Amino acid sequence: MPKHDPTRESRIHEEIVVDAYDDGEINMSWYYYFNDHMEFPFEAIVNLLKRNGTKEQVKVEILNVQSEVEAPILLGVAERGYNRLQMIVPSVIVRVVDAEEQQEMLNDWLYYHNKSLLS
């Protein structure tokens, strides 16, 4: 899991979830943070689960962020050559392609949830 990062923790607690008191408010705080600060669309590498149970790394375009009060943050994703689909942020994105600021914001979210950061 991520090592202690006081700068990241300060940004998260003072800029993102500063006035959030329950899970619903925290979800919406992250939604507004992503919606207000990310530049869409951007490219990312994701793990897609195939029907046979194997994973394949695929380059996709992240189109937007979506959320509901009691639901986890979702990113609207278009896989090139296929229909549009939605993916949950923490487990599918392997890395962001040429968009360091977007990757940093996603890493803030992963850090907050004590998950491995994007490389």
The pLDDT of residue 1 is 67
pLDDT by residue (tens digit) across 3-21? 899 999 999 999 999 999 9
The answer to whether residue 26 scores a pLDDT higher than 80 is: yes
The pLDDT of residue 16 is 93
Tokens of 8: 């990241």
pLDDT by residue (tens digit) across 82-118? 555 555 444 456 678 888 888 898 889 889 888 888 8
